[in-house]
Homo-oligomer: A and B are copies of this chain.
Amino acid sequence: MMAERQRRKPGETREKLMSAALTLVGKGRHFASLGIREVTRQAGVVPTSFYRNFRNMDDLGLQLVDELGLVLRRMMREAREHVSQADKLIEESVDIFISHAQANRSFFLFMAQGLAGESRAVQEGIRSEMRFFASELANDLRRLRLVDHLSDSDLDMTSDLVVRSVAFSLTDLLGVSAGDDYQIDQIRKRTIRFLQLIFVGAANWNSVSQ
C-alpha cells in the first residue's frame, strides 16, 4: 500500500514545508524551537524530504525571509496607491499596515521573532528588509516634498525611526487576539500618535538643533 506519490510540480513539498513552519509559528510556537521532524509532520511529508529542499532549519528560515520581503513589498505598493490626501497619510498608512499584519499574521510573527532570533543570518536578513523599507519610505517622503528642509541623512534617520516604531507596534498587535477590536484600535491610535510626534519633530528639526 503506497501513499499517493504524484509529484505534480517541482517545489511543491518545499512550499508545504515553508507554510508548515509558518503555521506552527502562527500557533504560538517559536521558530527557534521548531524541529525538522515537527515541520515535516505538520506538512504531511516524510522527514527525509526535508533534506531534498533545505539543508537545515536555518536555511528554511532564510528562504522565509525572502518571502517576507515579497509580503512587505506588496504592503508598500498598496500604501503608495492609497495615498490620496497628504493630511491623512499617516492614518491611512497605519490602517494598511494593520490590515496586512492581520492578513499575514504568521509572517509578521516570524519577522518579530527573527529580529532577536537564533540564526544570525535570518536576523541580518530581516534587518536588511527593514532597512530597505525605510529607504523606500525616505524616497516617498522626498517625492512628496513634505519635508524639504531635511538633509538626506536626517530624512533617512526619520524614516528609520518611523519603521522601527511601526515594527514595535507590530509586536503589540501580534500580542492581542485577532478579534479584539478594542485593543487593536488602541494600538492603531497609539501608533498614529507616535508617527505624528515623529513628524512634528522632523518638521521642527533644523530650526532647533544641529
Contact = CB atoms under 8 A, between A and B. Distances in A.
A197 to B, nearest CB: 4
B209 A205 contact: no
Interface band, chain A: 35 or more
Interface in A56-88: none
A178 B200 CA distance: 35
A117 B167 contact: no
Contact of A33 (B33, B164, B201): B33
Interface of A is mostly: helix
A170 B120 CA distance: 16
Contact of A203 (B171, B175, B204): B204
Contacts of A209: 196, 200
A140 to B, nearest CB: 18
Interface in A159-182: 160-161, 164-165, 167-168, 171, 174-175
A10 interface: no
Contacts of A16: none
A91 B160 CA distance: 20
Nearest to A199: B201
A112 interface: yes
A30 interface: yes
Contacts of A202: 197, 201
6 contacts: A33-B33, A115-B116, A124-B175, A160-B190, A164-B168, A203-B204
